[in-house]
Amino acid sequence: MKKIIAGLLIAVLAIAGIGIGYKINQINASEEETSVTVLQADYPQYNTAEELVESSDLVFTGTVKSIEYQMIDVSTGEEPDEDTGFVDDEEMPYTLYTIDVDKVYKGSFDSSTIIVKRAGGSFGDDEYVVENASEIAKGKNYLFVTETYEDTYPSLLNADQSSYDMDAPQTVMEGEEKEIMLSDILKLF
């Protein structure tokens, strides 16, 4: 009887030890992983290139020179901001794209370099990703559709209709819903 109880006790301790070891490995693995937060923003969507360009005040082409991340206070006063819901002194993660400007199509800008912001970015082990955001990569040439603001960097109008890769093929698959293409915007100028 004592042998059976001893055997069961050893089996229980072995199973518990395996479980504890597994839990420790899980904790170590999760500490190395990046925490991803998906930002869902209610950006306006545009049906035509004309609507998109009309809503902007600066449209230009340029090459992305560098990409940085910064927490920016986007509040406008003591009341919550209408667009973000943030109140005074609250910061939001942004990606800042430094762009060498090639050509300005709409609006004016006096420098050959501009910094444009878009919500989201990487901060240590935390990554903030805007849902459905188009890719913008360092060293690539894009057309940007932006809105300028006083006391901050210009912003892309929305996450998926404000940057267009100048070197990517522009094709629409048969049966797909018509989206705004780079060529549609360039035809306006």
* Shared-domain flag, residues 46 and 25: no
What Å distances lie between residue 51 and 116, 160, 162, 180, CA to CA? Answer: 21, 15, 12, 10
Indicate if 58 and 130 belong to the same structural domain: yes
Q: What are phi and psi of 121, to 5 degrees?
A: 145, 180
pLDDT range class, residue 91, cuts 50, 70, 90: confident
Average pLDDT, the chain: 78
The residue segments making up the domain with residue 19 are 2-33
pLDDT band with cut points at 50, 70 and 90 for residue 18: very low
Query: Which helix (H) or strand (E) is 141 found in, with range?
Result: strand 141-147
Residues 60 and 85 in one domain: yes
Domains of the chain: total: 2
- Integer CA distances (angstroms), 125 to 30, 39, 76, 111, in order: 11, 16, 29, 34
Q: Are residues 125 and 42 in the same domain?
A: yes
Mean pLDDT across 29-53: 80
For residue 72, the domain's CATH number is 2.40.50.120
Q: Are strands 35-39 and 121-123 parallel, antiparallel or unpaired?
A: unpaired
Same domain, 64 and 10: no
Same domain for 95 and 25: no
